[in-house]
Each structure stands twice: as structure tokens, then as C-alpha cells.
Chains A and B, each alone.
Chain A
Amino acid sequence: MRKEDTVKLISAEGFEFIIDRKAALVSNTLKNMLTSSGSFTETELGEVRFPEISTPILEKVCQYFYWSLQFASGKETEFHIEPEITLELMMAANYLHT
């Protein structure tokens, strides 16, 4: 996979998630950061830091990105969320406009 087809999302603890660019674009916030013609450093590096999102939450967010791509292509499954993380996940979803 070519580097420009992927993006790197970095959690509060510094854990790096490398995911498909098209998966990341599910988030409107990321879409704005990654496709902006302005001078966001994120646009150039393909790398976004989330100092307020913990690793397990960011992992769940990434899972959602891929789930939503599958859903859009016709594979309609349930997306399971563990109750312990729902509040935090909701805040992340709100921030990511997802």
C-alpha cells in the first residue's frame, strides 16, 4: 500500500493507528484536516494527533470507520459498543463529527 493512501492517527498515549485514508474520511473533522488546501500540517504529513482521545477509544473509532465503509457497500451488520466506553466514545464521535 502506498504511503499516501494511508493516514496515521495518534492517541493520547502515543499509540499509532495506520488506517486507509478513505476510512479516515468517514469523519468530517478528519476529512477537513486531510483534504484542506490550507496549510494544515496534518494535510502534508498524513498524520493526526489526538491528545484527548485514549487508545481504546481511538481503536473503537477506527473500527467504526471500517464498519461504516462495509455498511455503505451493503453489508449491514450491527456495530457493537461496550457500555463501559460509550460515554467517552460519544465525546470522541462528537469531536470527530462522525
Chain B
Amino acid sequence: MGGACSRKRHQQDNDGDEGQGSTLKRGITLQWKAKYGKVHNHGAGIGEHPSLLQLSIKDICQSIHIYDSMAILPRDLSQQILNELIAHRLLSQSTFRLFSDCSLQDIILESYPGMEDSWMEVVGTQQESLLELDISDSSVTDGGLQCLELCQNLQSLRLDYCDQISDVGLRFLTTGFLNLTSLSFCNSLSITAIGMRHLTGLINLKSLNLERCPKIHGGLIHVRDLTKLESLNIGWCNCIKNSDLRPLSGLTNLRDLQISRSKVNDSGIASLKDLEKLQSLSMEGCPVSSACMDTISGLTSLTSLNIRSCCISDAGCRKLGGLLKLRALNMGYSSITDAGMICLEGLTNLENLNLDSCKIADEGIKHLRGLTNLQHLDLSDTEVGNDALNFLSGLKKLVSLNLSFTSVSDSGLQKLSTLTSLKLLNLDSRHVTDSGLVTLTNLTELTHLDLFGARISDFGTTSLRHLKKLQTLELCSGGITDEGIKNLKYLTNLTSLNVSQNCHLTDKSLHYISGMTKLVSLNIANSGISNAGLQHLRPLKNLTSLALQSCKVSLAAVEELQSTSPNLCVVHLDQ
């Protein structure tokens, strides 16, 4: 029974994703781990019954304390039990001991409460079976890493945010570990060039993540011969200078390089000139000038370039014109003006363009007319006005458009009505009012609409009724009353609703909201709702976050609501 597991594994799913700069992948996902008892259907889909295997795993997890060891199980089964215990936060130091000598392949204990050195002994007993280990955000020390001595088949090791690991700990990675292809120790505050000396032996390393390590200056010299390296992240390491980039010049297999917010300037960028395979380069906020574009214009494999917050002038931008493979370009907060925008005209493969806070106006947007592959366009905080929208109306593939804090007003919005693929639209601007919304009613694919500061009243909410697919909506003009919320009650796909700052809202509004059973997050701060209104929120079983600042609501009333709303764990109140 059980059957042997292949030693081969599927490609790591965190590989690839090309075309997106690293900064686009960043972000924090908040997860609320469900405890047993609140999970229905035993993990099976709706209408399906749980398999006997699922039922057994669930039962074992619930009475895990009665067992002595999991080592009698085939390793794929003990792996499933471990994963389940971790997912439901049921694993403790004592129950983890049951998994000694289980030949586990993956131990993913990222941010796991209580994880420390004594757990590492159990990790070490997996020996050659262990392929992937993640102990990020734990208090494991250098001593704990010593337990990995016999885990020489490790392919992926993540030690992000481990404050107790220093140069001494890296020593344990020196001998063996020839299978290690991915190593990450983001935000390691005490790792220095001395410890990085131990990386020289990791000759098969493909991915190295050192983001936010403040003391690694001088250490990249030890990476010089790791020529299989495809991905290197030294972003937000403000110790990194030009000299640190010089050892990278021979790493010609590099595809993905992140150096954002480092101290690298034009001459440092020049060290990258031979990295012909480079597909993604993020150099957000580096102290470069337009001169660095001479180097970058030669990196013709680039599909993703992030020069946000770099002082690149129009002259520098013109050199972008040859990067014909670019699919993602972030030029937010750069010095480009309308005159420089012409460089974008030929970049017809662009799918993602960010011009946030650039000094561009309608005349510059003209050059985007032919970029028919654009899916995401951010024009937030630019001088763009209604005339610019004439040039966008042919971009039929646009999925997301940000026009917040621009001069776009009601009379321009009707030109967006042809963009029927739009799913995300940000119109957070005082120039947008009820009459503008009327022209958007055929954008029925919209899932996210931000009208935070738009001057919308109850009349405008009647237009929103047509947007049945909306999942998130922000509507904080101050002019919405209970009648306006009544119009929203048909939007039953909403998962996130922000109607704060509307001081006229009363408990009646909560009654209308009570049918939006998919709501996960509700912000109704600064309104006139009271304790009595909270009862209407009881049907919202998915609600996890509720903001009630400056409302006439007591802590006791909120606690009573929480007692019947199992998932409601984040409540914002005054005082």
C-alpha cells in the first residue's frame, strides 16, 4: 500500500511569471486560517461528499495527541497529515515530534507560531528525503541550522525574517547541498559578506533572494561563479553600491534582477551590459540618470522594466524605443513629459503601463493610441483630462484603468463606454459626479470600482445597480443616505464595501447590506449607525473585517456580534 513516491518533483510554481516585474508580485496577502468546526463540506466541493481519505486525515488531525508516531505511514500520507495540521494551525512542538523519520519532502512552517530550534531536530530526521524547507519568520538560530547536516538533497530553503540566523549559520550550507536551486534569506539583519563566503559552493543555485539585507555590501563577490543563477533579488538593500554589481557581469544566465532602492547609479548599471538574457529588471528609486539608458537600451530581451522614481528625462526615455519585447513598463514618478511619450509608440507588445504621477497630459496620451495590447494602464495623478480618453477608446483589451486624481470629468467618461473588457476602474476624483456614472452602465464586466472621493449622491447609485459583477466598491463622498444604499442591495457579489464618511447613513443601511452574504470586508465608519443596527450583520457569515470608527457602537455590542459571526476577527472601533 502507499506506493513509492518519485524523487522528481513538479517545477516549482513560483518560477516563471515572466513579464511581470518583481515589484508587481509583491504584496501582502492576509489569510485567516479556518479552524475545524467552521469548515463545512470537509474540504470537498459543494454537493460532493468527502472521500474516505479526507475523512481519515481530518479525524487523525483532530485526535493527533493519541498517536505515538506517524512513521508507520507511507510518506505521502504522513505528508498530507502534516500539511493539514499546519494549515489549521494544529501543529505543536509535541505533535511535530510524531513526524520524526517520516521521510517528508516538504516542511513549510513559514510564520508558524512557536517554531524554534527544537523543531529543527525533527526536520533533520527527514534526511535525504527533504526537498523543501521554509522556516521564515521563526526564532530558529544558527544552532538550529546545524540540524540540516543530513538533508543534503534540499532543493529549496527559505529563511526570510529569521533574526537569529547570522553568518555562523550559513556555514552549515558549505559542504554538499549540490541540489539547492533556491535560497532565500530576505531581511536577514546580521548576514554580512563574511557569511556569504559560504555560498560559493552552491553551484546549482538558480534563485537567490537577499531582499532587505542591510549588511551584505561586498558579499556578492562570492556569487560571481554561480553562473546558473537566473534570479537575483537585492532590492531594498540600501548597502548595495556600484561595486556590488561588478561581480554580476558574468552571470549571463540571469533573467530576473531586482535592485530597487539600492545605491546603484549609472556606472553600476553599466556592469549589466552583457546580461543578454535579462528579461526583468527592477531598479525603482535607484539614483540613476538618463545616462543609464544607454546600457538598458542594449538589454533587448527585457520584457519587464521598472524605472519608477528614477530621474529619467525625455532624452533617456527615447532610448526605450528599441526594447520591442517589453510587456510591462513602470515609469511612475519619472521625469517623462509629453515630448518623451513618443518613445512608447512602437512598444506594441506592452500589456502593462504605469505612468503614475508623471507630468503628462492629453498630448502625450496620443502616443498610446496604437498600443492595442494594453491591459493595465495607470494614469493616476497626471495632468490627463477628457481629451486623452479619445485616444484610449480603441484599447479594447484594457482590463484595468486608473484615472484617480486626474482632470477627467463627467463629460469625458462616456468615451470609456467602449472599453467593455474593463474590470477595474479607479475614478477617485472630485470631478466625477452622478451624471458621469450614468454613461458607465454598460461596463458590466466591472468587478472593482473606486469612487472614493467622487461626488456621488443617492441618484448616482441607481447607475451602479447595473454593475452586477462588482466585488469591491468604494463610495465615500459623504452624500450617500440610506436610500442610496438601498440601490446597492442588488450587488450581491460584493466582497468588499467601503461606504465610510457618509454621516447620514443609519441602521436602515445595514438592513440593506444584510443580503450581501459574500461580504468579507465592510467599512461604514463615520456614519450614524448604532448598536441596534449590528443585528443586521448576522447573516454575513463571511465577514472578517468591520470598520466602525466614530459610530455610536459599543464594544459590548460588537462582541455580541462576534459571538455569532465566527470569521469576524478584525473590528475597528474608536478609543
On A, residues with C-beta under 8 Å from B are 52, 61, 64, 68, 71-72, 76, 79, 81, 83, 86-87, 89-96, 98
Chain B residue nearest to A98 in the complex (CB): B52
| Residue B515 at the chain A interface, CB threshold 8 Å | no
Q: Which of A61, A83, A95, A98 contacts B1 (CB 8 A)?
A: A95
Least Cβ–Cβ distance between A28 and chain B, in angstroms: 9
- Once A83-B59, A83-B63 are accepted as A-B contacts, the answer to whether A91 and B52 lie under 8 Å apart by CB is no
Distance in angstroms from A38 CB to nearest chain B CB is 20
15 contacts across the A-B interface (CB closer than 8 A) = A61-B52, A68-B52, A79-B55, A81-B56, A86-B56, A87-B60, A90-B53, A90-B73, A90-B77, A91-B73, A91-B74, A93-B51, A94-B1, A94-B77, A95-B1
Closest A residue to B62 using CB positions: A83
| Docked CA distance A76–B53 (Å) | 18
A64 and B52 contacting across the interface, CB-CB below 8 Å: yes
Structural contact, B56 and A89, CB atoms closer than 8 A: yes
Specify which chain B residues have a CB less than 8 angstroms from the CB of A95 in the assembled complex.
Answer: 1-2
1/0 contact trace for B27-63 toward A, CB 8 Å?
0000000000000000000000101110111011001
Residue of B nearest to A91 (CB): B1
Report how far A52 CA is from B2 CA in the complex, Å.
11
B63 to chain A, nearest CB (A): 5
Would A91 and B66 count as touching, CB distance under 8 A? no
- Which of A72, A91, A92, A96 sits near B49, CB closer than 8 Å? A72
Which B residues are closer than 8 A to A by beta carbons?
1-2, 49, 51-53, 55-57, 59-60, 63, 66-67, 72-74, 76-77
Nearest Cβ in chain B — how far from A22, in angstroms?
15
CB–CB A91/B77 < 8 A: yes
In whole Å, how far is A84's beta carbon from the nearest beta carbon of chain B?
Answer: 8
The minimal Cβ–Cβ distance linking A77 to chain B, given in whole angstroms, is 10
> How far is B73's CA from A83's CA once the two chains are assembled, in angstroms?
15
Which of B1, B51, B52, B57 counts the most chain A CB atoms within 10 A? B52
Q: Are B49 and A71 in contact (CB under 8 A)?
A: yes
Which residue in chain B gives the minimum CB-CB distance to A67?
B49
Please tell me if the beta carbons of B52 and A86 are within 8 angstroms of each other in the complex.
no
Partner of A90, one of B49, B56, B63: B56
* C-alpha gap A85/B73 in the complex (Å): 13
Determine the residue in chain B with the shortest Cβ distance to A65. B52
- Contact: B1 with A92, CB < 8 Å? yes
Bound together, the chains give a CA A92 to CA B66 distance in angstroms of 20
Please tell me if the beta carbons of A94 and B74 are within 8 angstroms of each other in the complex: yes
Q: Which residues of B contact A98 (CB under 8 A)?
A: 51-53
Known: A64-B55, A87-B67, A95-B1. 8 other contacts (CB 8 A): A72-B49, A83-B63, A87-B56, A89-B56, A90-B60, A90-B77, A91-B73, A93-B56
Is the CB–CB distance between B63 and A94 below 8 Å?
A: no
What are the nearest 9 A-B pairs in CB distance?
Answer: A90-B56, A93-B52, A71-B49, A93-B53, A98-B52, A95-B1, A83-B63, A64-B52, A81-B59
Most buried by B among A71, A87, A95: A87
In the assembled complex, which residues on chain A have CB atoms less than 8 Å from the CB atom of B76?
94
Residues of A within 8 A of B1 (CB): 52, 91-92, 94-95
Task: Name the A residues within 8 Å of B56 (CB-CB).
Answer: 81, 86-87, 89-90, 93
- Please give the distance in Å from A26's CB to the nearest CB on chain B: 9
Task: For B52, list chain A residues within 8 Å (CB).
Answer: 61, 64, 68, 89, 92-93, 96, 98
Residues of A within 8 A of B55 (CB): 64, 79, 81, 93
| Chain B residues closer than 8 Å to A72, beta-carbon distance | 49
Asked if A90 and B57 sit within 8 Å, CB to CB, the answer is yes
Name which residue of chain A comes closest to B55, CB basis: A79
Bound Cα distance A93, B57 (Å): 10
Chain A residues with CB under 8 Å of B2's CB are: 91, 94-95
Residue with the highest number of chain B CB atoms closer than 10 Å, among A86, A90, A92: A90
Whole-angstrom CA separation of A79 from B52 in the bound complex: 9
Assembly CA distance A96 to B350 (angstroms): 51
Residues of A within 8 A of B72 (CB): 87
Q: How far is the CB of B102 from chain A (nearest CB, A)?
A: 13
Cα A91 to Cα B75 in complex, Å, equals: 11
Task: List B contacts of A68 (CB < 8 A).
Answer: 49, 52
Bound CA–CA A95/B66 (angstroms): 24
Chain B residues, CB < 8 A from A90:
53, 56-57, 60, 73, 77
Contact of B59 among A86, A91, A92 (CB under 8 A): A86
- Give Cα A95–Cα B72 distance, bound, in whole angstroms: 15
Residues from chain B with a CB closer than 8 A to the CB of A79 are: 55
Residues of B within 8 A of A76 (CB): 49
